[in-house]
Chain A
């Protein structure tokens, strides 16, 4: 890992810190309408639920009413006798016909099928699927299916699930612990022994999710003659076609996933493997197109899209001057009843485990436990936001303990601009940053003095008010290094993405990307980048989403990676086209390439600018005039580029050090909040986010994602929770119990940009798809705790609902009375 660090340090700095205004780009960094938006505002988006195929059948699902129960008998004859009903599928049939989905960690007995096999392990787990001519008819028939269960013992509390006598969610696995590893990076014991103070605390991040407004939808059609399965699905899932094919025991080239489906929001969760495998199996079995569109309850309870649910026990070691030397962090993740990529969400934070701070050594104990709850899936930030919340809560606690200013404490411990590239104890090198400047910019925009005055004025009126601060990193450019880190059998060291660029005979440019999009404006990204390189108007460039049979190797728009990876791949392909045009020009103008200049799509001679070949003339040669092409050059004009993640390509070291993500964006949140003295509801009065994600290719897109990420973070901090009863019943299955922030709860937000380019990427860009969400919950908690501090109260769990805050205040009153 040290070698990598040295390599990174040796890389030339492409650009020093620069402001966005001084950009030399023609299209990058400019205001531009998103290509995708016109079809959306006209109502002409193309979502999975819009798919209609001739003769299509529809699926309704029957779910387990129990948290854990043996399925004794499924009686479906009455349902099957109903006109228009085509099938009732059970786990028993699926078990014989398909292969299970395996977890991301090494736990081969924790298998998962689309329908429960013999035992249902959470309330809401799909037990049977009914297929009929309409969804309404399928629901009618579902009511006629009679299922006999034997209720078994269940476990919903993750700490109790660790006990020896706890009921086992997967008895064959032999334990409820599906993953446990303790990492020690650096001299933790020694550093703690040197510290003047230690502070231990526990924080709890509640189970919430991104909850897109579109539920999961999938349509499949099987073709007997060609043995091809067509799939239209609302997905954001790496290696999705391969996994579908594998489960169905089909060769990879028998599954054609159409990536041109618009996905109605995902932010991580639209994985849909079990949905798609189920519907694909039915389509193949029945020889008819089949569609499943989850209803909201199916989505919330059985859609397997709930997010991290984590208890942190943290100990910070520090000196009286505020210097934090070492950290012990124990994280217990409740992943629910099955495992997808969920234990891996404990892995991503390894790459930014110390946040923006110079903490020298770290012990990280990561444990994932199975319970009889809805399974967990990837959520925006892949586990980073909970970890940021845990760390930032500790920074505020240390400041309070030392009676130090929270901002001064942060600045004291922050990595300074001169120290980049900076190697953190867990083996990741941060590429670039200027943290204290971004924090200062945010503080200036917020007007810290005035903010404190407003807070004190509110307090004088008897309103609990607080100022919140958080600073954190957004690791970006996902390379999935947590896979080999958490599973030694998995030797993944590449997570490439790619792009194909083609110039047709008319001179028009078409680019092909290999994944679907869920609102990230990838067509805008690619056309801006290709336009920049080839100096053609981006609005004239068409961007298509391939299907999986004609796509180049690609992963998925996860881990804030597409500006880096797709942007890099598009630039790479366009540069190859540009090189080819220069070679054609050099050949025809009888000059060396170095004597020529590419400008506006044409090529001219530097010494004699009137001597030139236009874009149209060069395209004509490439497509029609083989006799004018340099010897050996392929005719036509298309180039592909497959890009490996920068800094990727290496397995973790034996002690679990790893370069997790290449690029590291930074955000600083400053807010003023108050707590209504009557209702205990939190109101945000001022919200400022300082943000540095390097060079922004599409600033409007970045800002939009940041606003949305902050709104999502406010929800996680204050409102959203998948609550379960002791019986394991989901108590928040509708939007009247699972509360999403509306335009009333989300305040007006100010974003302050800063630009520290990454030395690792084509234009200096970093990722930003998870911006805002990664720091907002910590900032809101910081403000609420600042508001509660004068009362001697504090709250260390999310969401901080009015009831939860009231309880925290009452608890503090009670303990004072008892003392």
Chain B
């Protein structure tokens, strides 16, 4: 099968140029060609949400689109949710603090959905969190501690920005 097409995309701020078969899904491309194995494959039919990534900042199922469809676009995977290597984002930190995970398999997709939620709605209600993660299946947690973690992260966000504002005043 030498039927390949050139593909260029930016993933987690890094520019990549590769040749791909048109039938390669985005999730397989991320995992197999770029070795970004943080994004997981769960159902391959768009229900479980484990493969969620941000495509130009919007959450999408990377199992339900071809890599070539993302040509020229910006992608963020779980590996790119924090700005510094080895550091956790406020949301990732809240997931740890509130035990919002067990086996960790759905977690990358959950984080992507919740990250997108908090960007649009920094102070969601528990119901809004449930709505935002209703397309992500988790078999370990019963979702409860995930909701708790997102609420926790949203208050931490506020505390953080308040602190920044306060220090700005002092300066």
Interface residues of A (CB under 8 A from B): 33-34, 36-45, 47, 49-50, 52, 84, 136-137, 210-215, 262-267, 293, 295-296, 518-521, 700-701, 703-705, 707-712, 734-736, 740, 742-744, 746, 748-749, 772
Contacts and interface: CB of A to CB of B under 8 A. Distances in A.
Of listed B31, B45, B106, B144, residue having the most chain A CB within 10 A: B144
A743 B130 contact: yes
B152 interface: no
Nearest to A210: B139
A296 B99 contact: no
Contacts of B10: none
Contacts of A295: 44
Contacts of B1: 84, 136-137
A42 B101 CA distance: 12
Interface string B133-147: 111111111111111
User: Interface of chain A, helix or strand or loop or mixed?
Assistant: loop
Interface in B11-39: 21, 23-24, 31, 35-39
B122 interface: no
Interface in B116-153: 126, 129-131, 133-147
A214 B40 contact: yes
A441 to B, nearest CB: 19
A214 B137 contact: no
B133 A265 contact: no
Interface stretch (B54-62, B76-84, B162-170): B76-84
A335 B133 CA distance: 35
User: Interface of chain B, helix or strand or loop or mixed?
Assistant: loop
A749 B144 contact: yes
Of listed A36, A37, A44, residue having the most chain B CB within 10 A: A37
A295 B25 CA distance: 14
Contacts of B40: 47, 49, 213-214, 264
Contacts of A210: 139
A43 B39 CA distance: 7
B103 A212 contact: yes
Contacts of A267: 139
B28 to A, nearest CB: 8
B145 to A, nearest CB: 6
Given A42-B82, A262-B104, A708-B142, 19 more contacts: A37-B95, A41-B96, A42-B79, A52-B35, A136-B21, A213-B43, A213-B48, A265-B102, A267-B139, A519-B104, A707-B142, A708-B141, A711-B139, A736-B45, A743-B130, A743-B143, A744-B131, A744-B134, A746-B144
Nearest to B146: A743
B67 interface: no
A521 B137 contact: no
A520 B104 CA distance: 11
A737 to B, nearest CB: 10
B134 A708 contact: no
Contact of B144 (A33, A38, A42, A748): A748
A41 B103 contact: no
Contacts of A734: 43, 45, 47
B66 interface: no
B111 A519 contact: no
A749 B130 CA distance: 14
Nearest to B88: A41
A39 B1 CA distance: 36
A41 B143 contact: no
Nearest to B37: A50
B105 A742 contact: no
A711 B143 CA distance: 8
Interface residues of B, number: 58
Interface in B87-102: 88, 92, 95-97, 99, 101-102
A41 B95 contact: yes
B44 A296 contact: yes
A736 B103 CA distance: 23
Of listed A519, A520, A703, A736, residue having the most chain B CB within 10 A: A519
B50 interface: yes
Contact of A743 (B31, B35, B88, B147): B147
Contact of B137 (A137, A262, A740): A740
Contacts of B36: 43
Of listed B24, B36, B41, B135, residue having the most chain A CB within 10 A: B41
A42 B103 contact: no
B133 A743 contact: yes
A342 to B, nearest CB: 21
A657 to B, nearest CB: 36
A42 B99 contact: no
Contacts of B126: 748
A710 B142 CA distance: 7
Contacts of A266: 103
B88 A735 contact: no
B45 A36 contact: no
A215 B105 CA distance: 10
B106 A735 contact: no
B99 A211 contact: no
B103 A263 contact: yes
B137 A519 contact: no
Contacts of A214: 40, 42, 103, 105
Contact of B99 (A49, A704, A736): A704
A718 to B, nearest CB: 14
A749 B133 CA distance: 17
A379 to B, nearest CB: 12
B34 to A, nearest CB: 12
A589 B22 CA distance: 75
Contacts of A735: 43, 45, 47-48, 137
Given A265-B105, A744-B130, A212 B139 contact: yes
Given A263-B103, A735-B47, A744-B134, A712 B38 contact: no
A736 B47 contact: yes
Nearest to A520: B102
A709 B107 CA distance: 18
A37 B95 CA distance: 8
A43 B134 contact: no
B103 A519 contact: yes
Nearest to B129: A743
A44 B86 CA distance: 10
B108 A712 contact: no
A736 B104 CA distance: 23
A711 B40 CA distance: 22
7 contacts: A40-B103, A213-B43, A214-B103, A264-B103, A705-B140, A707-B141, A735-B43
B103 A38 contact: no
